[in-house]
A and B are shown apart, each in its own frame.
Chain A
């Protein structure tokens, strides 16, 4: 939904903070100019107190260092982070500081104690290019020396701070001296950049997170991305007019890093998934597939949505229609790529769409801020935006042929790491649905749970599990004891420690293998087993899995000679499930710590078989 800066400014000045926040969330998804970013940041800073209260003092410190002018980047960080509910303090390193500053432990970079360090480098840093006479080995050595230079600095950053590093990759240059043969010879600029980027990706998730500016440059066009004029004039690593493209990419990675990747795509139907109105035009009358160019465009859009589903995005429908009529194309239309079973929730009716969206969030057990709503009707979009500022609204106002790009270029569904759990998400939900019905008829619940033939494996994690563990800590809101998260290098360090361990739980049942659904970081000290944090996916709620895991924890505690289990629990509006669990088991609270004696045996009987193999 296109929003002007004025709407944000007016709402903010009138003290209508939720309205201003909804506008901000929409604004950061628009390709604003550097001037608009500057104005937005300025407006936010003018009302600093309001926002600090609004974000309940959730604070992230971000340092930006680079080899070129980074001003355009620093101006867009605060709006993006605030749009996801965090206040941000930004520190910009001196111009060109990346070469030297990270090496110095006394640097202001480190005393700032950043949570994130954004390294803005790029193709303009490549000073030495391979020559036609260079051998493959020489080119490889040259590339390795570039990466080694970066690695030295990453190592220092890791040593002198606990910042997570976000590293730009290299953009394929617009200059191609080999012309149409650029792709052919290893020494070409195009092939050399490919080589450098490949090396960077090898460090992804380990030492760094790659910000794929090459992708942004490619989408915009290399010629527009980097303007030699601005580079020579004021050392801009990308054209100021490309800031909008940079921002979209940046937003995608940040949402993923903060565990804010959107989870559900909620679709309108008429004139969104097909042309025309199914209730009026009927099955034969709607435009979908080879019937027309527009029909082809709608079918292509549906196929794109299927791709999103395959990557782990859940799909839902929110439509002003009769359910039976709305479902007809998915069952009977010969050229409808999406099928009924692709959707995890349906809300069809004649009420306002915000009500439907609330029901969908409830049904799928996700927060409203996990939803993306797409609709061609501006009135529906405006209604949702006003009623539910948390929902991301995309008004499909373009030609249907451009719907894919309107959704895709916002990078809303881009995961931090694509895990096997992402791929099976929609399937696990089918079970969740059956479970909901069983719970409503409580006499059948025990029987139903038994019929699921659940098998759980509870084990210490191995190195290949860490991306999913990181993801689960970051994404889980409900079964989350205190919000603490760890990135992969930190998890790595915990694995090496003799007093800490990381437990992971896999679950499968007769319907599906749910993958790694729960994990806990634990530490043994002073005859206490401390739960540093414990998370569990909401997909496996109400199955007594938490009791089964707790029993394992009690056994582990005993084995390590502990007398009690302790944990820090911080109540949030979302983690009521944990709170109920603590009450049920009789955890005792003292000074914010909750403890439980290891002699407790009163956990529920779990209809879950423990197995060794996951």
Chain B
């Protein structure tokens, strides 16, 4: 049971990372861009505040979610962004079940 959950977790995580990468590639105009979860925005050339806003808008649009003012400011590492995103999606799933 545990193993199944964690596999699912990893798969979901990868999907989210893929999405973040695909939006960032478009935002930064770098089709070959690769990032890892350990990176921060300052590790990626061109990932400035404007790119960040476009990334957030892209994610909000793709997943029909909204980040709060606090959350937008709290995204340090790519991993933080992914886990935040995951939290949002789970929250949304619960609301939808209700």
Contact = CB atoms under 8 A, between A and B. Distances in A.
Contacts of A236: 53
A240 B58 CA distance: 11
Contacts of B58: 35
Nearest to A42: B29
| Max count, chain A CB within 10 A of own CB: residue among B29, B53, B68 | B53
Contact of B57 (A42, A228, A240): A240
A240 B50 CA distance: 10
B54 A233 contact: no
Nearest to A71: B50
Interface string A30-73: 00011100110010000000000000000000000000000100
B53 A34 contact: yes
B54 A230 contact: no
Given A39-B26, A229-B68, A234 B53 contact: yes
A241 B72 contact: no
A39 B69 contact: no
Contacts of B69: 228-229, 232-233
| Max count, chain A CB within 10 A of own CB: residue among B26, B54, B58 | B54
B27 A234 contact: no
Contact of B54 (A34, A228, A232): A34
Nearest to B49: A234
B54 A38 contact: yes
B73 A233 contact: yes
Give the dominant DSSP class at B's interface. Answer: helix
Contacts of B27: 35, 38
A71 B27 CA distance: 14
A241 B57 contact: yes
Contacts of A229: 68-69, 72
Question: Which bracket fits the contact residues of A?
Answer: 10 to 19
B23 to A, nearest CB: 9
Contacts, number: 36
A233 B72 contact: yes
Given A229-B72, A233-B69, A233-B73, A240 B53 contact: yes
A234 B7 CA distance: 37
B82 to A, nearest CB: 20
Contacts of B57: 33-35, 240-241
Interface in B34-55: 49-50, 53-54
Contacts of A34: 50, 53-54, 57
B54 A35 contact: yes
A35 B73 contact: no
A39 B73 CA distance: 25
A395 to B, nearest CB: 25
Contact of B53 (A42, A228, A230, A232): A230
B3 to A, nearest CB: 39
Interface in B45-98: 49-50, 53-54, 57-58, 68-69, 72-73
A46 B69 CA distance: 35
A269 B84 CA distance: 54
B81 to A, nearest CB: 15
Contacts of A240: 53-54, 57
Nearest to A230: B53
A177 to B, nearest CB: 21
Contacts of B72: 229, 233
Contacts of A38: 27, 29, 50, 54
Contacts of A232: 69
A71 B53 CA distance: 11
A35 B22 CA distance: 13
A110 B15 CA distance: 50
B88 to A, nearest CB: 15
Nearest to B69: A229
Nearest to A239: B57
A38 B49 CA distance: 14
Nearest to A236: B53
Nearest to B50: A71
Interface string A235-255: 010001100000000000000
A435 B50 CA distance: 58
A35 B27 CA distance: 6
A234 B50 CA distance: 9
| Max count, chain B CB within 10 A of own CB: residue among A42, A233, A234, A240 | A233
Contacts of A241: 57
B24 to A, nearest CB: 11
Nearest to A72: B50
Interface in A521-570: none
Nearest to B26: A35
Interface in A215-236: 228-230, 232-234, 236
30 contacts: A33-B54, A34-B50, A34-B53, A34-B57, A35-B26, A35-B57, A35-B58, A38-B27, A38-B29, A38-B50, A38-B54, A39-B26, A39-B29, A42-B29, A71-B50, A228-B69, A229-B68, A229-B69, A229-B72, A233-B53, A233-B69, A233-B72, A233-B73, A234-B49, A234-B53, A236-B53, A240-B53, A240-B54, A240-B57, A241-B57
Given A33-B57, A34-B53, A234-B53, 8 more contacts: A35-B57, A38-B29, A42-B29, A71-B50, A229-B69, A233-B72, A234-B49, A236-B53
Q: What are the 10 tightest A-B residue pairs by CB atom distance, in nearest-first order?
A: A35-B54, A229-B69, A71-B50, A233-B72, A42-B29, A232-B69, A234-B49, A35-B27, A240-B53, A233-B69
